[in-house]
Amino acid sequence: MREKATRKVLVFFISCAVLIAVYSVPVSGAHSLLVLDEKDSYDFSANVRGVLSGGDLYYVVEGVGGFWANNLGQRGLQDVGDIGEVPLDEVAIPNENYIQFGVPAVLGHTYVSLAQEGEEGHVIVFRVAAINDNYSSVQILYLYKSAQPGQMQPTDQVQPTYQSSFPPEAIYLIALFLVIGVISTTARFIAYRRKGTTLPPPYEPTYNNQSIRSQAMSIFEKTNFIFKHEKKNDSITVLGGD
């Protein structure tokens, strides 16, 4: 019984570890979908959302939706136009003309944004995939990668990004289950240590023990009876001889 329980715990831990490993490993060059609501900023290297400030750029509606990159640490972006379905990792990176104020969001257009200060040598290439009728939100397909301006096809390793098919919340949930399992196992271990043992006592069927005790007592009683009887006979023989 104890061995079966141990196997189940090990299978649970291994399954959680495998799921986390599979789905938390970033995929090199993966394109990710992102929805930006009004006043959302975004740090593409850390996958962190903010409000106006922080990150590489932000989205604001002033009549129409637009991308801005004028806050502290942000370095600008530009619209490279409607270039069709050219893969994002093959988009030419402009050398100049990056704008920090109000680049309009246009459905189907592709954009190049410089990564924020401290991440020089990296850019975000993104394409507007959808816009709400009132411009309250915009959906973009993006790729954060290593590239110097003017390089058509950068040879540096593409910055890994998470696949959008498996949300980070699922990874957090699996990690939570794993932590709960570890805490539960640790608590049981501490409880056993306080009792003076590191493992639960082995399982011993009661009926076997009773059977063994009964047989032992029966043998003992018979042996004791025979011993007393022989001793008594010896005593009689001795007395009779006198």
CB 60 within 8 A of CB 66: yes
- pLDDT for res 241: 44
Q: Give the Cα separation of 9 and 187 in Å (integer).
A: 14
- pLDDT for res 180: 85
Q: Give the Cα separation of 160 and 167 in Å (integer).
A: 16
- pLDDT for res 7: 63
- Specify the pTM: 0.52
In 58-201, alpha helices (H)? 168-194
End-to-end CA distance of the chain: 68
In the numeric block, the tokens 């002033």 are attached to 62
Along the 242 residues of the chain, how does pLDDT read in single tens digits? 555 556 666 666 676 666 555 444 444 344 688 999 999 999 999 999 999 888 999 999 998 999 999 999 999 999 999 999 999 989 999 988 999 999 999 999 999 999 999 999 999 999 999 999 899 999 999 999 988 665 544 333 334 344 444 455 566 677 777 888 788 778 777 776 676 655 555 555 555 556 666 766 666 666 665 555 555 555 444 444 44
Q: Give the Cα separation of 77 and 79 in Å (integer).
A: 7
- pLDDT for res 159: 41
- pLDDT for res 171: 65
Domain ranges (residues) in the chain: 1-25+165-203, 27-161, 206-242
Strand partners, 78: 112
